[in-house]
Amino acid sequence: MEKLIFRKFFKDTFYFFIISTLSLTLIVWVIQAVNFLDFVSEDGHSFRVYFLYTLLSFPKIFARLVLFMFFISVFYTIIKYEKNNELIIFWVNGVKKSSFLNFIVKFSIIILLIQLFLNIFIVPKAQDLGRSFIRSSNIDYLPSLIKSKKFINAVEKLTIFIEKKDNDGNLINIFINDLNNVSISKTIFAKKGEIIKQDNNYYFILSNGNIIENSKNSINIISFETTKVNLSNYSTKTTIHPKIQELSTLELFECFKSVNYYNVTYQSDKLICDAKGSKEVTKELYKRIINPFYIIIIAMVSSCLALRSENEIKFGRHKIIIFITCVTLIILSQILSQYSGQINTKNLIISFLPFVITIFSYLIIQYRLNRNLKNA
């Protein structure tokens, strides 16, 4: 009987968790996708790159919502069962409260494993894959971005200004400021020009103008009848270098180990990690690996609501207290992750204190439930 009851509770809670989390994720994803329209309107990326990049942000949004939505799912299911007097049926049919608490902890471990799998493997891979689409994409919509009497900054380290377009699509009176070379800045003035596409690359074909090369020690002015600027040599303004959130967990561990245990700078194709960078890496590892364990804490606190279900007055009061406590714990998990970058005794104690308190609370609750059972 106990197994059937627990199976029903698991099914109801898990079903609500999946449906509600996916629904909220979809809503957040749509809102975020609208904000990402800058990729098309300003950065010159194709709609395909825009769609794939936003689609690959779906796992990240889902993972961020898991903790809160699992709390809501457990909380909602317990309240629903209490209103339908199903919790009373649990206890009448011999379900031990200590067994129910253990079941909730086991249930939360399943969600914890899902969260860890998302954080450690799926989310970083999806983020990196999304960035690779940007990294490998051409500026497909650049011609449509060129507008008269407007500075165009779609290309990183390249500013373009066009006075006007004629009826044939030719560009008149062109100004280009090129800062791609650290040692020499170039300013190009041309009376006429056009953008052409060859071999999947865009080129600026400029006519009748001057190139002003400004270095540290000299200024050179070069006149030209025709010159070509290869826009494939430039990246879009969107960051193309990997962010910490996009790096694999294994690589972050290597950085953490090198800096904190061997006191050497870690360097790879995607990451150069020194003592300063290690703080951000530590924060990211904390978010990926430690924060999900708050799922167990939240589950245990929520389950205490069911343990008070016999008394309607106490249930109503505890409902408010437990809700506030769980929301506070979720906020606390985010705050503590911001202080996890600096490894010292104080920060370690503060970061792991909620887990220590939870373990002791669990043992005390189990002891009291078992003692009450014996006395009964």
Please tell me which of 106-120, 170-184, 189-203, 326-340 the model is most confident about, judged by mean pLDDT. Answer: 106-120
Q: d(Cα 238, Cα 38) in Å, to the nearest integer?
A: 10
Same domain? For 196 and 262 the reply is no
- Among 209, 233, 257, which residue terminates a domain? 233
Instruction: Calculate mean pLDDT across residues 287-311.
Output: 85
pLDDT digits (tens, 9 = 90+) for 310-338: 555 567 778 888 899 899 989 988 888 87
pLDDT (0 to 100) of residue 13: 96
Q: Are residues 188 and 127 in the same domain?
A: no
Q: Of the residues 213, 233, 253, which one is the last residue of a structural domain?
A: 233
Question: Do 259 and 363 share a domain, yes or no?
Answer: yes
> Three-class SS of residue 179?
coil
Q: Are residues 177 and 52 in the same domain?
A: no
Is there a single domain that holds both residue 11 and residue 107?
A: yes
User: Where a domain ends, among 233, 258, 278?
Assistant: 233
In this structure, the answer to whether residues 149 and 74 fall within a common structural domain is no
The tally of domains found in the chain comes to 2
Query: Do 252 and 109 belong to one domain?
Result: yes
Q: 200: domain range?
A: 143-233
Main-chain dihedrals φ then ψ at residue 194, nearest 5 degrees: -155, 160
With CA atoms as reference, report the closest residue to 143 among 238, 39, 236, 44. 44
Task: Based on the fold, state whether residues 225 and 250 are members of the same structural domain.
Answer: no
Rounded Cα distance, 339 and 92, in Å:
47
Same domain membership, residue 204 and residue 90: no
Do residues 81 and 49 both lie within one domain? yes
Do 51 and 94 lie in a common domain?
yes
Same domain, 189 and 258: no
3-state secondary structure of 197: strand
Mean predicted lDDT score pLDDT of the chain? 83
Residue type, 280: E
Cβ neighbourhood burial of 20 (10 Å; 0-12, 13-18, 19+): middle
| Mean pLDDT calculated for residue range 16-25 | 97
Query: Which residue type is seen at 158?
Result: L
Give the residue ranges of DSSP H helices in the chain: 2-35, 38-41, 47-55, 58-83, 86-92, 97-117, 123-136, 142-145, 249-261, 275-285, 294-307, 312-338, 345-375
